[in-house]
Amino acid sequence: MPKKMVTDAVSFTSVVTRPGRRLLLALSSLSLISAIRLFAAPQDYAGKPVAAIEFEPATQPLSQAEIDRNLGISIGTPLDLKELSAGLERLYSSGRYADIQVEAELRGGGVVLRFLTKPAWFIGRVTVEGVPDPPNRGQLENVTKLELGSQFTERAFRQAIEKLEQLLRNNGFYRPRIESDFEAQPEVNQVNIRFFIEPGERAKFAQPTLTGDLERQPEDIVSDTGWKRLWGLLGWKTVTENRLQRGLENIRTAYRKDNRLLASVTLDDLKFQPDPNTVTPALKIDAGPTIEIRTEGAKISRGKLRQLVPVYQEQSVDKDLLVEGAGNLQSYLQSEGYFDARVNFKTADPSTDKEVITFVLDRGPRHSLKHLEITGNSYFDTATIRERMYLRTASLLQFRHGRFSEEYLERDRQAITDLYRGNGFREVKVSSRIEANYGGDPNDIAVYLKIEEGPQWFVSALEISGVNLRDYEYIQSLLHSSEGQPYSEINIAADRDAILSFYYNNGFPDASFDFTATPGPGPHQMQLKFIVNEGPRYFIRQVLVGGLETTDPELVRERILLRPGDALSQIAMNESQRNLYELGIFAKVDTAVQNSEGKERNKNVLYEVEEARKYSLNAGVGAEIARIGGGAATNLTSPGGSAGFSPRISIGISRSNFLGVAHTVSLNTRFSSFQRRGVINYLAPQFKGNQDISLNFTGIYDDSRDVRTFAAKRMEASAQVGQRLSKANTAQYRIQIRRVSVDENTLKITPGLIPLFSQPVRVTVVGGSFIQDRRDDPIDARRGIYNTVDLGVTAKFLGSQTDFSRLLARNATYHPLTRQVVFARQTTFGWMYSFASEGDPLQDIPLPERFFSGGASSHRGFSENQAGGRDLTTGFPIGGKALLMNTLELRYPLVGENLTGVLFHDAGNVYSSLRRLSLRQTQRDDSNFDYMVHAVGFGIRYRTPVGPVRVDLAYVPNSPRFWGFEGTREELLFNCAAGPGPQCPRTLQRLSRFQFHFSLGQAF
């Protein structure tokens, strides 16, 4: 690839002597000063009127208005050499010029000034290509240190080459060939730099040379590095920086396992041998003495000891580290209830190759923190103070002995002090007292915190200087330290941040803040003076976007909040960057101000993007563990389900940024014991540039037996428009067209009903949803409200073969009872209404469209989809037309910080119709299922970064009884065609009173 240079990207000053009466001035990017060379007496030029001002080249990086404002010289005015020199300084300080020379020529009684300029060039997009990972592209681009928007110089370019070569060597590429290509954008004085690298073959490791005091066999050390392939049978691995460092760390780890904590492993040299293309590491090793760390008086696990004693991490032994380790051990024992614990250490006289360090642990008796009392507080109530404290009194499960240590106590005293000082109590004092033998029990203690609030200081007067009058009132509204408010340095710091944020957001990046505080006229009063220096204001010249390949530029411009002429706002720049990331089509979005150090009024704002990969493939393996049996096509046993395991596999592929407008096309599939499903989806988020509107087209093919009564095939096409009404409220409008058919060979119902329920049905649904989410945390809410309403209508005039409406509404609320105890409740109501005759089974709602419920996320008294009516012959569920569920949960801490417990009560059922909805708690007979089923139980939640993992165990005192069929499907079809009778043997069964569920996330 040819190398192309931008010739005027960097200029060096040269002063040319020309014959004649001329004045030559030069301002150099190297010297940063102005120089004047006179070829005649100064009086020949000074005071002469300026006849003309010329610039070469004619196109300048600054506008004419900016040039005139900086230069300060106009035609017709007498020439002032000092003013000319100052004007040149201002032009150069704009940062837009790499070199400025001025020629002055006497002509017709005046002076003609000719400015010979070379513009500065600025760095745009930097890309590096041709190198296989590692290092990756991002590492290569970052190591160049060619920052977006900064001035391009030959020196920075040469350093970038050197850093690239070093990074390549670190990763085994010792003979790279680096070429560079420059793409100039002269209209904005920007240059895009592309490095193309031919890395050559990556070098391999060779046998390392080991020197020093090894104390281990060399072959064992080499084996520890992991640099050999298959223990050396396949030779050596290739060199990468991570592999090299990991090998060194593996050696250190091996020595630490031998208790040689001071072992030193250093890389002295990496000798490259070109002919075999190998690298020989030269390692210098000092094994050091064996250091054994013991404990006396109490047993501490080896893992905990390594965690608490910093000698292991620092690989050094000195008194400070041992003192720190003793303090950590003492805090650990105190946190375990040994509040009187004391820890010391001693070192044995080291032998030649062994040193023993013993931590002497005196645990003392184990105590419990039974009482925590706070007195002296009047400004803040006790609950507010307790929220900020780490100490905890003993509880039955979570903290059996409470949470206490001297470190925790000091931390809480400081937290209370900071709380008061932040509200004007400058002289607050917090003291503590520990009472042993609390309540007459020698194993119990009490902690008493006494707060001496002292006087509260207030701001008696506030003066703000340096603020433009048009902004004065607004800035005052931002402040905490206004007249009459508590005086606090914390409030002043918040006011400083608010003021500077206002200025940074309005084009004043150089704004500064200072303050003075003096005693006020009255006691406990302070007078404040805020001193603001606004600095120059900057505006936006242009917004430049680079790196777009397939993305529509208009899509990007719509997401950028900045426009030419706007005040330069760092906040708006960052928010625009976030908007671009939220499109989900960019792997990287960099933003910068071009020529950020230059003193030019109008700045270019740069956005440099890197488009993400268009295609992505995902795959996953999972399982369902619950009461899931009874689903086989020929199996008529266990209609209520039985404990089982169902594996599942999911595979998906997606194409992002389809058509360059941030739309996504995806295909997702799932295969399991009960389902084969494929979904193709077209998603248009932020449709037509509106961030509150999304458009979604979906096609579904589903062949599943998730309801154990039958297997159904569903083919569906849908279109949905989503609208965000506010931060909490969202609406969805959709139309769905689907054809659902039931495999008659899988229907486990009375044979006479099979022809009716196995008819394929085309359903067209027009509907919508309203979602209101005011939860503090959607994954694990502690307070707030969550409402959803879903309404759909299907009718023959829409092309449907059936007529009915469907309503499903849900309301959930979350109430914190204490800091750690939450009461949560949820009510779900559903209703389906057939517009046809209720008594005509041929016009009834199709079986797959009915409500099916029960399971981990609805009613834990049932296994999945087992609630509601059942076939009177086989006992398998047939769904219903009404649904009412109510769930209560008490969520409380269990053990430590991550394990919590839940007591729950689920009540409700799926009913055959709305008029048969009943709160009755008993089943009238074995063929009536329209009553409310109750379940009480206990659950465990373990907090993880992706949400809680949960296990729920439920007991159902009034689980439904039903008749089930004993026999094969052939016997069912032959003997039970006319329904239940003597020829159709049935057995009375009952859903299990005990249910268990394992899942992710809270139940609601």
List strands edge to edge, sheet with 190-198: 122-129, 190-198, 177-185
Same domain, yes or no, for 629 and 776? yes
Determine the pLDDT at residue 905: 98
List strands edge to edge, sheet with 50-56: 34-38, 22-28, 97-107, 110-119, 50-56
DSSP secondary structure string for all residues of 855-896: STTS-TTSSTT--SEE-TTT--EEEBSEEEEEEEEEEEEEET
Task: Write the burial class of residue 396 (CB in 10 Å: 0-12 exposed, 13-18 middle, 19+ buried).
Answer: exposed
Determine the pLDDT at residue 350: 60
Asked if 262 and 350 count as a contact pair (C-beta separation under 8 A), the reply is no
C-alpha 778 chain-centroid distance: 15
CB within 8 Å of 987: residues ≥ 6 apart:
963, 964, 965, 966
Report the distance separating Cα 139 and Cα 157, nearest Å: 17
Domain that holds residue 151: 122-198
SS3 assignment, position 619: strand
Give the HSE-up count for residue 721: Cα atoms under 13 Å, Cβ half-sphere.
Answer: 10
Asked if 401 and 367 count as a contact pair (C-beta separation under 8 A), the reply is yes
Examine the fold and report which residue of 62, 94, 119 is the final residue of a domain before the chain moves on: 119
232 assigned to some structural domain: yes
Domain count, the chain: 8
Examine the fold and report which residue of 581, 611, 641 is the final residue of a domain before the chain moves on: 611
894 assigned to some structural domain: yes
Residue appearing with tokens 């266990």: 638
758 assigned to some structural domain: yes
Report the distance separating Cα 637 and Cα 972, nearest Å: 12
* Pairing state between β 675-684 and 663-672: antiparallel
Residue appearing with tokens 């200087």: 465
Structure tokens at 797: 């005039």
Q: Which H helix or E strand runs over 225?
A: helix 218-225
Determine the pLDDT at residue 644: 58
Structure tokens at 559: 């997401």
Report the distance separating Cα 212 and Cα 564, nearest Å: 66
Nearest to 636 by CA among 746, 503, 549: 746
Same domain, yes or no, for 564 and 697? no
| pLDDT < 70: residue spans in the chain | 1-43, 349-352, 623-645, 705-711, 743-759, 837-843, 977-979
- Domain of 760, CATH number, reads 2.40.160.50
Q: Rg of the chain's alpha carbons, rounded to an integer?
A: 39
1 assigned to some structural domain: no
Examine the fold and report which residue of 452, 469, 491 is the final residue of a domain before the chain moves on: 452
Report the distance separating Cα 574 and Cα 385, nearest Å: 36
Structure tokens at 900: 């919590």
Same domain, yes or no, for 869 and 900? yes
Same domain, yes or no, for 914 and 961? yes
Alpha helices (H) along 429-568 = 469-478, 489-504, 553-559
Determine the pLDDT at residue 288: 87
Give the HSE-up count for residue 326: Cα atoms under 13 Å, Cβ half-sphere.
Answer: 19
DSSP secondary structure string for all residues of 501-525: HHHHTTT-TT-EEEEEEEE-SSTTE
Same domain, yes or no, for 835 and 932? yes
Report the distance separating Cα 341 and Cα 493, nearest Å: 40
Same domain, yes or no, for 655 and 781? yes
C-alpha 116 chain-centroid distance: 52
Task: Write the burial class of residue 626 (CB in 10 Å: 0-12 exposed, 13-18 middle, 19+ buried).
Answer: buried
422 assigned to some structural domain: yes
110 assigned to some structural domain: yes
4 assigned to some structural domain: no
Please say whether the dihedral angle defined by the alpha carbons of residues 792, 793, 794 and 797, taken in this order, is positive or negative.
negative
Same domain, yes or no, for 711 and 858? yes
Q: Give 579's DSSP letter.
A: H
Structure tokens at 57: 């080249």
Distances (CA, A) of 668 to 619, 674, 681, 735, 824: 9, 17, 8, 21, 34
SS3 string, 293-350, reads: EEEECCCCCHHHHHHHCCHHHHCCCCHHHHHHHHHHHHHHHHHCCCCCCEEEEEECCC
- Domain of 39, CATH number, reads 3.10.20.310
Nearest to 546 by CA among 182, 124, 147, 190: 124
982 assigned to some structural domain: yes
Report the distance separating Cα 1002 and Cα 781, nearest Å: 9
Give φ, ψ of 473 to 5 degrees: -65, -40
Q: Which long-range contacts (CB under 8 A, 24 or more apart) does 126-129 make?
A: 126/192, 126/193, 126/194, 126/195, 127/192, 127/193, 127/194, 127/195, 128/164, 128/194, 128/195, 128/197, 129/194, 129/195, 129/196, 129/197
Determine the pLDDT at residue 496: 96
Same domain, yes or no, for 844 and 935? yes
Kindly report the pTM of this predicted structure: 0.79
Same domain, yes or no, for 594 and 623? no
Give φ, ψ of 938 to 5 degrees: -135, 140
Same domain, yes or no, for 37 and 76? yes
Distances (CA, A) of 837 to 252, 761, 840: 81, 17, 5
Q: Which H helix or E strand runs over 170?
A: helix 154-170
Same domain, yes or no, for 154 and 111? no
Same domain, yes or no, for 876 and 729? yes
Determine the pLDDT at residue 840: 54
Determine the pLDDT at residue 5: 34
Q: Give 259's DSSP letter.
A: T
